[in-house]
Amino acid sequence: MSNFKEFTKGLIKENPTLVGLLGMCPTLAVTTTAINGLGMGLATTFVLLGSNIVISLLKNVIPKSVKLPCYIVIIAGFVTLIEMLMKGYLPDLYKSLGTFLSLITVNCIILGRAEMFASKNKVIPSIMDALGMGLGFTLALTIMASVREIFGAGAWFGIKIPYIQSLTLFILPAGGFFVLGCVIAAVNKLSDKKPPQEIGCSSCPSRESCSSCQSEGGAK
C-alpha cells in the first residue's frame, strides 16, 4: 500500500514540473509537438528508473564525499544508453529532440530524486518513486505540448484538427513561456492552493549538498 502511495504522489500532488517547478528547460524546449513531449517524458522516465534502481542498490557503497560525481556518472551512463537506443529505433524522434536528449543528464528532477529518495530508500520504493515522478513529468510535458500543438499548428499528435486557426506564436519560444505560465496558474486554481511564490533554493533538490544555498541562508 505504501509503495502505491510512492507511485501516486509524483503524478499530481508532488508533480515535479507543475508543483515542484523542476526540469524547466526540457519542459519549455521540446514541447512543440505532443509526440516530442511524450517521447522526452518517457526517455526521462527510463533514465530516472535506471538511476534510482542503481543508486538505491549502491547507497551503502558510495562514499559520502564523492556522491554527487558518482550520481552524475550513473545518470550519464543511462542517458547514453537511451541516446543509442533512440538513435537506432526512433531516428525521427532522436533528431527532433536533439541536444536535449543528452541534457537529460543535468535534469534536476533526476539528481533530485537520487539525492532525496533513492539514496535513502530500498529498491522497491525507489522504483515506485521513479515511475511516479517520471510519469508525472511525462504527463506535464504532454499537456504542455498538446496545448502548444493544438493552438500553434492546429493538430494533435500530428493529426490535423479542423476549424482551428493555427497561431504560430504558440510554437515560438515565447509561446512556451506563456503556456507554461498559464498551465501552472491553472494547476494553482484547480488545486486551490497558494501559488508558489518563488523559484529559489526552496524547490531546489540539491539544497542539502549545495554550499551556495547554505551560505546564503538556506531555503526560504
Partner 1 sequence: MKGIFAIMLAALLTDNFVLSKFMGICPFLGVSKKASSSLGMGAAVTFVMVCASVVTYPIYHFILDPLGITYLRTIAFILIIALFVQLVETALKKLMPPLYNALGVYLPLITTNCAVLGLTILNIDNEYTFGQSVINAFFSGIGFLMVLLIFSGVRSRVEEADVPETFKGVPATLIAAAILSLSFIGFSGLGN
Residue 91 and residue 167: Cα distance in Å, rounded?
28
Burial of 152 (0-12, 13-18, 19+ CB in 10 A): buried
First to last CA, the chain: 33
DSSP designation for 148: H
Q: Looking at 7-15, 72-80, 119-127, 150-158, which segment touches partner 1 (CB under 8 A)? A: 72-80
Is the Cβ of residue 95 or residue 160 nearer to partner 1 in the bound state? 95
Residue 18 and residue 40: Cα distance in Å, rounded?
16
Burial of 52 (0-12, 13-18, 19+ CB in 10 A): buried
Which residue in the set 2, 60, 65, 99 belongs to the binding site for partner 1 (CB under 8 A)?
99
Q: Looking at 6-14, 100-108, 123-131, 151-159, which segment touches partner 1 (CB under 8 A)? A: 100-108
Cell of 188: 494553482
Does 83 bind partner 1 (CB under 8 A)? Our answer is yes
Does 35 bind partner 1 (CB under 8 A)? Our answer is no
Locus of grid cell 560525481: 69
Q: Footprint of partner 1 on residues 158-197 (CB under 8 A)?
A: 169, 172-178, 180-182, 184-186, 188-189, 195-197
Does 28 bind partner 1 (CB under 8 A)? Our answer is yes
Q: How far is the CB of 7 from partner 1 (least distance, A)?
A: 26
Residue 113 and residue 3: Cα distance in Å, rounded?
16
Does 126 bind partner 1 (CB under 8 A)? Our answer is no
Is the Cβ of residue 98 or residue 158 nearer to partner 1 in the bound state? 98
143 neighbors 151 (Cβ within 8 angstroms): no
Is the Cβ of residue 2 or residue 215 nearer to partner 1 in the bound state? 215
Which residue in the set 36, 105, 119, 126 belongs to the binding site for partner 1 (CB under 8 A)?
105
Residue 92 and residue 68: Cα distance in Å, rounded?
33
- Chain residues binding partner 1 by CB under 8 A are 21, 24-25, 28-29, 68-69, 72-73, 76-77, 79-80, 83-84, 98-99, 102-103, 105-108, 111, 169, 172-178, 180-182, 184-186, 188-189, 195-201, 204, 206, 210-212, 215-216
